[in-house]
Structures are given as C-alpha cells and as structure tokens.
Amino acid sequence: MITRKFGSPVLMVLGVLQVVFGVGVSFWVTSKQMQFAYPRTADIAEAFRDATALSCFGLAVIVSYNVAALASPRVGTANSLGRYPLKLQVLFLTLAPALITAASISLGAIPAFTDAIAKSADGSVWILLVVAVSTVFLSTVAALSAFVALAFRKFHPAVSPLIAVIVTYFVVAFGANSAKTWAVAPIVLQAVDPTDLTEPRNLVVALGVSVCLALVAGGLLLLAAGASKNISLSGVIAITAIVGVAGLLQAAAGPVAIVDRDSCAFSSGGSEICVDSADEPGLEQMTRDISALEEYLPDGVRPRKLASNSAYRIKSGDHGYQNFTTAGEDRRLDISGLLLDELGIGSCTDPTSEGAFVIDRVGVYITKRTGVYSKSVEKNGAFYQSISDSGETDPAPEDVLSSLDHSVVDKNIAKNWRAIVSCQATWEMLTEES
C-alpha cells in the first residue's frame, strides 16, 4: 500500500510530486554530463549528490506531514496504516518515502550512468556505492523529519513540514559547504574535489558512517515513537543525540583521503602535463595544445610543469607545478592563464594601458593561430573584459590581427617580443608591414 501510494498514504499527491521531481531533477543535472567529449565519473556522482540534496526538502515535507498526521484520528487512521502499532506506522512513513525518493533519483540518472559505464573503464562499482550512500543519507534525513513531526504532533500537521524544511536546510547547507562533514553528509558540493569523493576507499568509509548514523537515528526514532509521555522532549533529545553521534563518526572517519592517481605526458618542448586519471582521455589533446603553443612562441620559453586542478600534484600542495583548468564540451586545457603569464601580463601595473591591450590582442591572436583553447576567448573574444566608466562591460575589440596577413603579424610579434612581455608594446608595432 505504501509503495503503491509513493510513500505518502495520508496525502498521496505529495508522493506523486516527489517522484516526478526526483526523476526530473536527477535527469536534468546528470544528463548535462553527457554533452562532454568523455564522461568524468566524479562529475556524474557530484550531479547525483546535487539531485539528492535538492530532493531532501520534498522528502522532509512528506515524512513530517504524514507522521504528524498520525496525531489526528480522522487523518492518520483513514488509511491502511491505522491497524498497525504507532512504532510500525512511523517506521513505514519514514523508510518508504526515503527509499522511493532514492529510487526516483536513480531512475533519472540511468542515462548518465549508462553512458559512463559504456565509455569509462571505472566500471559500475562506484555507481552502486554512490547510490547506496545517497540512499542511506536520505533515510537519515527522513528520520530527522520524523523526529520533528513527533516533537510538534500536537500542532496542526501543516506546522511540522515548515520546521522540517528549516532543519533540512541547515543539514544540507552545512554538509554541502564543509569538508569536515564529507562522511556523515555525502552531498558535498564545493568543499571537496569530486574526484576524491569517488575514490573507493572514501565511498566505503562514507557508506559505513552513513549506515551507522542511520541505524542510530532509526533506533532513537522507534524509542521516541514509543514514548507515551514527553514525546516532544524525546524528539528533541533524539535529534541532539544524532548530531553528537554524527560528530563522533565524522571524527573517526577523519579527513577525506587524497590518492595519487595522476597520469602525465610530455610536450614536444619538454613541458610535463599531469591530470587526474579521470581526464586521461583528454591528456593527448592537452599535450598537443601545449606543444603547439611552445612551437609558436619565441625560442627560450622555458619548459613548464603543469597539472590540472584535480591532479594529485596540485591537491597535495606540490609547488613545483603550475595549475590549469579544463573547460568546454571537449574538456580542453584552458590556455588563458598560462598564455597571459607567458605574455608578461604581470608586468602591467595599469590594466588599461596600451601595453596591456596589446598583450590581450596578441593572446587572442595566438590562441586562434595555434588552435589552442581559451574559454574567455570563446565566450568574450578577449582574455579579460574592460569595464566602462558607467560600470558596464565593454564589448570585445575587433580582432584586427587575425584579419591581417599572418606572416606579417607573426614577424612583428617575434621582433617585438621583449616589448610585449614587458608591457611596453604599442599597437603600431604589431600592425606595421615593413
């Protein structure tokens, strides 16, 4: 009966809306990863956790409303659950919505999961672990919402969902923005690198911690539901106890483990490029881009040691490596920062000077001339956009250099290289034809 009514026997429409929302939001956030040249399992897992975090609020409403409605005989006993003991009713109304919500999110993510399994060598183990961790976390959120309902069941059933949503907001907000809660609240959005959270060791630890916390929450929920007196106090004490247990479990789990799984390659000019194994399919293209840049720039450009933001060498604080980002649907190496650094943008004390303008235009020209990738150039036609006196963003200047004879521009860039990198070059130096 519970399953047939999507976990909301008191108000069926809530269960229907939750299923539709879970499938829809999960498909929306996870399917975005299918547009890229190759799947990053860590990004798909992160999108799945995003869907889990968003679905928590609907789950809180369903559980708290249904459990609170048990206080009203005309509401709570008007369904098949009325013939069961209160403890069993509360357990059903807590677990069923959590499991149905987890199933809905998983259903929406099937296209992305299938694509990742087909194109990635990581296999399906990580998928099962991510789904399991999210499911257990949803059960804990459902238990907290049930506690709220029990604590406020003397009020109208509409009161509990409002309070449950507030409690859930603090749980999700704190978990999503703190690296210190990665194990007890596996919905980390920004605080921890996604590649670390999909490490099997970290997933297993998060699953173990989540299961322990859910079992404690479930046990305390049954005790609170069975309390004949001071049921509100029992709910408050139980929530406090869960928070304390969560802190102890997180302390036992420790910080997220960072594992060296980098893949590296060398460019034609001797630069080392390292990426996390998740980006290994794009490493060959990244190496070609750096090689193309090295071949174009004047002789004497020193080889670099480069690593992506997700690489172990960057996360472990290896200062011998310069970080870069990947961007675009092809997950190309974003040359913006590297090229501007090579062009001497740091020498410009005034970003509005002609020398700075020349550096920007030369950078745009080199990007197009060599075929390397820059998200800023693709989006704005410039490496950095100037701001007018009114505070508005000025449009990118016309790309005059690309319209000129390339041999002339190439010659002028090589001849005036010292002036360019010292932020002393003028526009005439680049466009002169003699």
User: What are the tens digits of pLDDT across the range 370-398?
Assistant: 999 999 888 888 887 665 455 565 666 77
In a domain, 6, yes or no: no
E strand or H helix that includes residue 272: strand 272-276
Confidence of residue 228 (pLDDT cuts 50, 70, 90): low
- Total tally of structural domains belonging to the chain: 3
For the cut 60, the answer to whether the pLDDT of residue 260 exceeds it is yes
**Based on the domain organization, do 309 and 378 belong to the same domain?**
no
Pairing mode, if any, of strands 272-276 and 262-266?
antiparallel
State residue 177's pLDDT score: 81
State residue 106's pLDDT score: 95
For the cut 50, the answer to whether the pLDDT of residue 305 exceeds it is yes
Mean pLDDT confidence for 285-301 = 87
Query: Which domain covers residue 302, as residue numbers?
Result: 261-333
Place of tokens 């509401």: 75
In a domain, 277, yes or no: yes
Percent of the chain at pLDDT exceeding 90:
32
**Based on the domain organization, do 232 and 322 belong to the same domain?**
no
In a domain, 52, yes or no: yes
For the cut 60, the answer to whether the pLDDT of residue 80 exceeds it is no
Least confident range of 10-14, 95-99, 207-211, 284-288: 10-14
What is the pLDDT of the chain when averaged over all its residues? 85
CA distances from 177 to 182, 227, 307 (A): 9, 36, 25
- Taking only the tens place, the pLDDT of each residue in 1-41 is 555 567 777 778 888 889 999 999 999 999 998 888 888 88
**Based on the domain organization, do 103 and 236 belong to the same domain?**
yes
**b/e for 413-431, b at 16 or more Cβ within 10 A?**
beebbeebbebbbeeeebe
**Based on the domain organization, do 300 and 412 belong to the same domain?**
no
**Paired tokens of 26:** 């999960």
Mean pLDDT confidence for 203-215 = 90
Mean pLDDT confidence for 128-157 = 88
In a domain, 1, yes or no: no
Among 208, 227, 253, identify where a domain stops: 253
Least confident range of 68-82, 111-125, 179-193: 68-82
More confident residue, 371 or 70: 371
What DSSP designation does 394 have? P
Among 253, 285, 308, identify where a domain stops: 253
**Based on the domain organization, do 404 and 328 belong to the same domain?**
no
**Based on the domain organization, do 64 and 173 belong to the same domain?**
yes
Mean pLDDT confidence for 282-287 = 94
**Based on the domain organization, do 291 and 172 belong to the same domain?**
no
Mean pLDDT confidence for 214-230 = 77
**Based on the domain organization, do 42 and 87 belong to the same domain?**
yes
Judge whether 114 and 31 are in contact, CB under 8 Å.
no
For the cut 90, the answer to whether the pLDDT of residue 269 exceeds it is no
CA pair distance 286, 263, nearest whole angstrom:
12
Max mean pLDDT among 123-127, 191-195, 213-217 falls in: 213-217
50 three-state secondary structure:
helix
Confidence of residue 77 (pLDDT cuts 50, 70, 90): very low
**Based on the domain organization, do 93 and 69 belong to the same domain?**
yes
Confidence of residue 82 (pLDDT cuts 50, 70, 90): low
State residue 134's pLDDT score: 93
**Paired tokens of 225:** 């539901």
In a domain, 278, yes or no: yes
In a domain, 4, yes or no: no
**Based on the domain organization, do 314 and 187 belong to the same domain?**
no
- Taking only the tens place, the pLDDT of each residue in 237-252 is 777 888 888 888 888 8
Transcribe 59-85 into DSSP letters.
HHHHHHHHHHHTTSHHHHTSSGGGGS-
**Based on the domain organization, do 348 and 415 belong to the same domain?**
yes
Among 305, 333, 361, identify where a domain stops: 333
Q: How far apart are the first and last CA of the chain?
A: 86
Instruction: With CA atoms as reference, report the closest residue to 70 among 59, 61, 81.
Output: 81
CA pair distance 27, 21, nearest whole angstrom:
10
State residue 307's pLDDT score: 94
What single-letter amino acid sits at 365? Y
In a domain, 231, yes or no: yes
State residue 353's pLDDT score: 85
- Taking only the tens place, the pLDDT of each residue in 396-434 is 677 888 888 888 888 989 889 999 989 998 888 888 875
Percent of the chain at pLDDT exceeding 70:
89
Q: List CB contacts of 424: < 8 A, sequence separation 6 or more.
A: 355
**Paired tokens of 209:** 């911690």
For the cut 90, the answer to whether the pLDDT of residue 116 exceeds it is no
**Paired tokens of 331:** 């997950």
**Based on the domain organization, do 321 and 343 belong to the same domain?**
no
State residue 76's pLDDT score: 46
| Cβ neighbour number for residue 1 with a 10 Å cutoff | 10
For the cut 80, the answer to whether the pLDDT of residue 208 exceeds it is yes
